[in-house]
């Protein structure tokens, strides 16, 4: 599979790294274009992939074209690669860019929209993706191979799930890091050295996630197993309920979803 990247920044690099590590493609099958000369030099030196400054050239002979630029740079990038050949499929990871705006911007009908997340940097992404009706079965399999090299992937038939995924898993690492930060600070507040607090919190979160995955139990059932009547955990949970932790999380993600929908609409109207 020949893959072209438009944009070799944080996400473009993470994808190149995963594709090579999981042997989805070899360095000679990957070409990356980026406006920054230092990014091109870095990617070429670090991963042995070809790099170019010219977007129109980079797509020549590619089966899959990955759009990995910031939303504000998408229109120009699409203008430069307009009129792909019918056999080529474009895969965008640009937040808020709808299939409609991508098809219009590229003047192309085989388009995939994916929402990976930041742990793609270590091959632990949660990626949600969908495709237009113009994407054939073989092209979907190709995209799935690429996206599964980033971590977990899930295909959805309905595009509206992509805006939901943007709010939940796309932005999700930020919520988790904020929670972890506060958790560690709490350990420091009650007197633990920061390094010990960080180790305790990190392993507690890792262990809890693995327990959830391995037992397949509902989180509430697992929480009940830790909560002795009248004990310390119950005391802490009371404070978290008083602080409206649940409704804060629900409201935060609902707000992120509304924002994602507004972004998609403004993209479709060509306002971004």
Which residues of the shown chain bind ligand NAP in the complex (CB under 6 A)?
6-12, 33-36, 39, 55, 68-71, 73, 76-77, 93-95, 115-118, 170
Residue 198 near residue 184, CB atoms below 8 Å: yes
Closer of 68 and 201 to ligand NAP (Cβ): 68
Minimum distance of ligand NAP from residue 246's CB (angstroms):
26
SS3 assignment, position 158: coil
Minimum distance of ligand NAP from residue 165's CB (angstroms):
10
Q: What are the strands, taking DSSP E only, across the chain?
A: 3-6, 30-33, 50-52, 64-67, 89-92, 111-115, 125-131, 151-155
Residue closest to ligand NAP (Cβ):
9
Residue 113 near residue 164, CB atoms below 8 Å: no
Minimum distance of ligand NAP from residue 5's CB (angstroms):
9
Q: DSSP of 66-114, one letter per residue?
A: EE-S-HHHHHHHHHHT-S--TT-EEEE--TT--HHHHHHHHT-S-EEEE
Minimum distance of ligand NAP from residue 174's CB (angstroms):
9
Minimum distance of ligand NAP from residue 94's CB (angstroms):
4
Closer of 24 and 126 to ligand NAP (Cβ): 126
Closer of 44 and 227 to ligand NAP (Cβ): 44
Closer of 17 and 39 to ligand NAP (Cβ): 39
**Pairing state of beta strands 64-67 and 89-92?**
parallel
Closer of 38 and 216 to ligand NAP (Cβ): 38
Q: DSSP of 248-272, one letter per residue?
A: HHHHHHHHHHHHHHHHHHHHHTT--
């Amino acid at each position: 599979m020949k893959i072209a990247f438009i944009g070799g920044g944080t996400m473009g690099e993470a994808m190149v790294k995963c594709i090579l590590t999981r042997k989805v493609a070899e360095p000679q099958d990957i070409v990356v274009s980026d406006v920054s000369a230092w990014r091109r030099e870095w990617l070429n030196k670090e991963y042995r992939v070809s790099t170019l400054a010219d977007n129109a050239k980079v797509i020549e002979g590619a089966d899959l074209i990955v759009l990995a630029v910031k939303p504000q740079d998408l229109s120009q990038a699409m203008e430069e690669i307009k009129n792909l050949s019918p056999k080529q499929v474009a895969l965008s990871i640009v937040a808020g860019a709808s299939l409609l705006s991508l098809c219009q911007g590229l003047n192309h009908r085989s388009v995939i929209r994916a929402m990976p997340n930041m742990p793609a940097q270590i091959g632990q992404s949660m990626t949600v993706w969908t495709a237009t009706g113009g994407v054939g079965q073989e092209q979907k399999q190709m995209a799935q191979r690429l996206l599964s090299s980033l971590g977990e992937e899930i295909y959805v038939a309905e595009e509206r799930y992509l805006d939901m995924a943007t709010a939940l898993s796309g932005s999700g690492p930020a919520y988790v890091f904020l929670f972890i930060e506060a958790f560690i600070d709490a350990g420091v507040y009650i007197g633990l050295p920061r390094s010990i607090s960080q180790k305790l919190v990190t392993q507690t979160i890792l262990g809890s996630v693995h327990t959830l995955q391995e037992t397949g139990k509902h989180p509430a059932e697992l929480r009940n197993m830790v909560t002795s009547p009248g004990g310390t955990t119950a005391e802490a949970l009371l404070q978290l309920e008083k602080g409206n932790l649940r409704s804060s999380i629900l409201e935060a993600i609902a707000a992120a979803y509304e924002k994602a929908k507004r972004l998609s609409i403004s993209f479709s109207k060509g306002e971004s």
